[in-house]
Structure 1
Amino acid sequence: MTTTKYKINELFQTIQGEGAFTGQPSIFIRLQGCPVGCSWCDTKHTWEIDPNLIIPSNDMLTKKQESEHWSHLTADEMANIFSQQGYKAKHIVITGGEPCMVDLTPLCDTFERLGYSCQIETSGTFEILTTERCWVTVSPKINMKGGYAILESAMQRANEIKHPVATEQHVDDLKKLLLDHNVKHTPIYLQPISQKQRATELAIQTCIDNNWRLSVQVHKYIGIE
């Protein structure tokens, strides 16, 4: 049993829509807090940690819309919620916000002992503290408002690198990052920042030119969370 409490903005079951696990039934754990400052972020409600916005877990589970309210939960409490909610998925995606602001080892260790697989989605700007078995998706956020650098340790720990693109500059930034950190064999996924045709066409052509892979945020196309 672990007593470590995590700041949880959302907890829900769905289908993973991005990267290597696209199509995988998954339980998403969305943590509160992120200082990175991505301009296109679609979860800005997770950025600030306001202790006045703590709510009971039942209220967090039944939120009807995105909000900055969050709950304090241990891994064991989350596992109990999974059971109570009747969740069937055995893959867990820990996202945010920026989940690696905290040590995720106790969280992943608990779930792995219960038979779940774990995946972390991170910007690569904080040390990744987790179990050896955990799948780490680094979505490097380069030159963002928060001023955080992409860490060498994060790039080397990544099981996949999933990069948002809308312009040629984003592609150039990624190529420089891969070169700077000597990344050669990690699978690379390009993800159009929007569903707009220009961004998608750029991502497709770049994937073909570099033998990379495409991630199209399937959940947005089919209209699920």
Structure 2
Amino acid sequence: MKLARLNSVPEIFYSVQGEGVSQGSPTVFLRLAGCNLACSWCDTAYSWKRQEAEEMTPHQVLRAIMDIVEAESPEDSPCRHIVITGGEPLLQQQELGELLGLLDGWRVEIETNGTQAPSGELAARVDQWNVSPKLSHSGNRTGRALVPDTLAAFAATGNAWFKFVIAHESDWEEIRQTAETAGIPRSRILLMPMATTRAELAAARAHVIGICLQHNVRYSDRLHIAVWDSRQGV
């Protein structure tokens, strides 16, 4: 497997989930390297560099995960919740499937940009998909960043949530059209402010919440930014 490196070490860490419907849950994060998109505002662009990735086998990754759990989560209630993020994790489906086969008893969430369809075998091992389709303000070509058939496949799983980053009020129309084309229920949509710093988040919150109220969709904060500002690896 290719893992993203932060400060010269593979990025595996214990924190709380900062976004989406699992926000606030103690979680082990595993960040994989490589991405098929290049969002202009990405706050983890270092993870794109597969040539600088840490190569580890699924068994080595499991050992590193358990070392983090044993060192940082309570012995009487060890963490068994993992979020696998990137980059784009679904570029490494074979290795990812091998790892998930080792994570017996864990709740598994995978964060994805929604352009890569998971295999049936992999999907059967995932408890929750956190799909973040990239809108036109991301700087990617629409046909590359938004793949309606793949988004529809995620929607059909019944365990996917769709998290859209809001930069402008006009983004809602693009979200509405995307959801309609892909068959994404409004009840599965979350809107989240575009922000990479605590100040940007504070400035955008009320506006994005207003859009959520106007269209009856859920709001997602960015708890890790609110608490740790622009710090990485938390």
Aligned to 1:23: 24
Residue among 120, 132, 142 paired with 1:139: 132
CA RMSD of aligned residues (A): 1.9
2:222 paired with 1:206: no
2:26 partner amino acid:
P
Partner deviation per Cα, 1:45-93 (whole Å, 9 max, x = no partner)? 111221xx3xxxxxxxxxxxxxxxx311222212212232315321110
Matches within 5 A, 1:1-225: 6-9=1-4, 10-50=11-51, 53=52, 70-85=53-68, 86=70, 87=73, 88-103=78-93, 104-111=96-103, 114-129=104-119, 130-134=122-126, 135-143=128-136, 144-147=138-141, 148-151=144-147, 152-158=149-155, 159-184=160-185, 186-194=187-195, 195-197=200-202, 199-223=204-228, 225=234
Q: What secondary structure is seen at the aligned counterpart in 1 of 2:175? A: helix
Structure 1 pair 208–22 and aligned structure 2 pair: CA distance change class (3 A): same
Q: Which has the higher helix share?
A: 2
Deviant stretches of 4+, over 4 Å = none
Q: What secondary structure is seen at the aligned counterpart in 1 of 2:170? A: helix
Task: Check the 8 A contact 2:201/2:226 in 1, yes or no.
Answer: no
- What's the % identity of the aligned pairs? 29
Cα distance in 2, alignment partners of residues 42 and 91 from structure 1: 23
Cα distance in 2, alignment partners of residues 94 and 22 from structure 1: 15
Query: C-alpha displacement at 1:108, in angstroms?
Result: 2.2
Structure 1 unpaired stretches of 5+: 1-5, 54-69
Deviates more, 1:127-136 or 1:114-123: 127-136
What count of residue pairs does the alignment treat as equivalent?
A: 200
TM-score normalized by the length of structure 2: 0.78
Q: What secondary structure is seen at the aligned counterpart in 2 of 1:14? A: strand
Deviates more, 1:141-150 or 1:91-100: 141-150
Structure 2 unpaired stretches of 5+: 5-10
Task: Check the 8 A contact 2:17/2:27 in 1, yes or no.
Answer: yes
Q: What secondary structure is seen at the aligned counterpart in 2 of 1:94? A: strand
Task: Check the 8 A contact 1:124/1:155 in 2, yes or no.
Answer: no
Partner deviation per Cα, 1:110-163 (whole Å, 9 max, x = no partner)? 21xx21111011111112232324111110013444431423233431410011
